Amino acid sequence: MKQDHSYKPRSAWNNLNTRTQRGEVTALAERYMDFLSSCKTERETTDYVCRRLREAGYGDAFAGARVARDLRGKAVFAVLRGKAPLKDGLDLIAAHVDTPRLDFKQRPLVEQVDVVQAKTHYYGGIRKYQWLARPLALHGVIIRENGEKIPVTIGEKPDEPVFCIADLLPHLAQKQSDQKLGEAFEAEKLNVIMGHSPKTRGRGKDDKSSKEDDGKTGDAVKTHLLDILHAKYGIREEDMITAELQAVPAGPARFVGLDRALVGGYGQDDRICVFAALEALLRTKPGTRAKALIFWDKEEIGSDGATSASSRFLEYCLESMLPETGPANRLSELFLNSRALSADVQGALDPDFQDLHEKQNAARLGYGPCFSKFTGSRGKYGASEADAEYFAFLRGLLNSRAIPWQAAELGKVDQGGGGTVALFLAAYGMQVIDFGPPVLSMHSPCELTSCADLWYTVEAYKAFLEA
C-alpha cells in the first residue's frame, strides 16, 4: 500500500466522538466558565489559584513537598516536588493573570451636565470602541489609611447595578465616521457613567441643584454618589486616590453557538492557560522531577513591575528552596536543567479576516493547543525562539498520548505581532516554548475559545508535567 508522508492538521473534535467524551468536555468548560465569571482581575485570579492550591495541600513552607507562594496577591508560584533533587530542574508552566481593562484614574470622579463619570486610563491592548455602550462591572480593592482592605465588586450579581460608557448616537456621528479608527475613539472619552441623581433634600431648603447651569458646574450628583459609597464601604473620595479600581465587562462567561462548543467570555487571554495549568498540576502525582507553575501579572503592559515576569520573584522562591537539597547546589544548574512552557494563547484564524493570516501557519479553533516556536515580529525581532530539539521532544510526547496539537505564528509576516513571557524564562537558559489554545476576538470583551482546545490544553499540560 502506498504511504502518505504528508502532514495534515486534524480537528480535535474528531478525537472526541462519544457522547461520554463530549459530556466530559462540556463539564470541564462549565467549570472553566465559573472560574472566568468570578475571576476578572489579577488579584481575583491569584486568590482563586491560591485557594485551590491550599485545598490540595500546598503550603507556605519552602521545605514542604507541595509549596505555594504568592507575591502581593498578584503573582503565584507553586511546586510539587519530585524524588530527584531540585537542582535537576523543574518542569514549569508559566502564564499571566492580568487582562486588558479600564483602570480608574486616581481622581476618577467628574460631574458634567448632571452626570457623574469615572475617568479611566486603559490597561493593555484594547480596541477602544469595544468598551462603549455595554454593561461594565467594577472590580478592585480600596485600602484605608490604616491598611484595611475593602474588596469591591459591583455589577456581577443580577440585582446589582452595572456601569456604562455612552457612545455617540449615529445621528451625530457623521464627522466621526469619516475619521480614522485611531482618532475616532479617544482614551479621554472612556469615561464610565457612575450615576446621575442628586441627593433627596429635606423640606424647605433651596433647590440649588436644579439651577440652570452652563453644563460644567455643580457637584450635587457627585455628593450623592460619595454618600452612597460611604454608606456601602465607609470610604471618602480620598480613598479612591490610592485604590485599584478596574472596569471590566459585566456578566458571566457563556457557551456560544447552538452546539455549545465555544466559550465566550472576558479575559480568556490568558486565564484559559492559568485554569488549564492549574487543573493539570492538581491532577498530577509527584514524580521524579519537580513540577511547577508560575503565574505573573503585568504581561499585557510589557512585563515590567514587581509582580511581572521580569521581576525576581521566581528566582527568590527557588533560591529559598534550593539549600534544602544540598549546600553546593547552584541556582544556575537548576535553571539550565529546567524545561518550560510559556502558556499563552494564540490568535485564531479569523473566518472574516483570513487575509491577515498566512493560513498554512495559522492556528485553527478546535485543532488543539498551539505551539509558537517563536514570537516577536518583523524578522523575528524581539523573539524568544525554542530550539528544534525541545520542540521535537514535546511533539513526540503529545503524539505518544494521541493529544492533538498544532503549530502557528501570529498573522502574516510583517503584519503585526505580539510577545509573551517566554523570553524571561529563556533568559535563565531554560528550554521554553509558547504553547496554548487559540482565541478568536482576542483582547475583546467577549473572547472565544473552543471547548475541545480547552480539554486538550489540560491534557497536554498534564502530559508535560508527567513527562
Q: Which residues bind Mn ion (CB under 5 A)?
A: 269-270, 344
CB of 273 to Mn ion, least distance (A): 8
C-alpha cell at 409: 505564528
Tell me whether residue 195 or residue 347 sits nearer to Mn ion (CB atom).
Answer: 347
SS3 of residue 419 by DSSP: coil
Tell me whether residue 25 or residue 440 sits nearer to Mn ion (CB atom).
Answer: 440
CB of 411 to Mn ion, least distance (A): 14
CB of 274 to Mn ion, least distance (A): 10
Tell me whether residue 154 or residue 458 sits nearer to Mn ion (CB atom).
Answer: 458
What contacts 95, CB < 8 A, 6 or more positions away? 270, 273, 274, 277, 293, 294, 295, 296, 343, 344, 421, 436
CB of 360 to Mn ion, least distance (A): 23
Tell me whether residue 117 or residue 375 sits nearer to Mn ion (CB atom).
Answer: 375
SS3 of residue 340 by DSSP: strand
What is the DSSP-derived secondary structure letter of residue 343? -
What is d(CA 310, CA 298) in angstroms, rounded to the nearest whole number? 9
Tell me whether residue 344 or residue 459 sits nearer to Mn ion (CB atom).
Answer: 344
Tell me whether residue 195 or residue 419 sits nearer to Mn ion (CB atom).
Answer: 419
Residue whose C-beta lies closest to Mn ion: 270
Task: Please name the residue ranges forming H helices in 39-173.
Answer: 42-55
CB of 223 to Mn ion, least distance (A): 39
Tell me whether residue 252 or residue 302 sits nearer to Mn ion (CB atom).
Answer: 302
CB of 95 to Mn ion, least distance (A): 8
DSSP per-residue string spanning 267-291: THHHHHHHHHHHHHHHTPPP-SSEE
Other residues' Cβ atoms within 10 Å of the Cβ of residue 122: 15
Q: Which residue from 60, 86, 113, 120 is spatially nearest to 336, judged by alpha carbons? A: 86
Tell me whether residue 344 or residue 453 sits nearer to Mn ion (CB atom).
Answer: 344
SS3 of residue 461 by DSSP: helix
Tell me whether residue 69 or residue 271 sits nearer to Mn ion (CB atom).
Answer: 271
Distances (CA, A) of 165 to 137, 150, 187, 226, 393: 11, 25, 12, 19, 49
CB of 124 to Mn ion, least distance (A): 7
Query: What does R_g of the chain's alpha carbons equal in angstroms?
Result: 24
Other residues' Cβ atoms within 10 Å of the Cβ of residue 442: 20
CB of 198 to Mn ion, least distance (A): 41
What is the DSSP-derived secondary structure letter of residue 440? B
Tell me whether residue 42 or residue 269 sits nearer to Mn ion (CB atom).
Answer: 269
Q: What end-to-end distance do the CA atoms of the chain give, in Å?
A: 35
CB of 421 to Mn ion, least distance (A): 8
CB of 323 to Mn ion, least distance (A): 34
Other residues' Cβ atoms within 10 Å of the Cβ of residue 400: 10
Q: Which residue from 202, 272, 271, 210 is spatially nearest to 450, judged by alpha carbons? A: 272
Q: Are 246 and 104 a contacting pair, CB within 8 Å?
A: yes
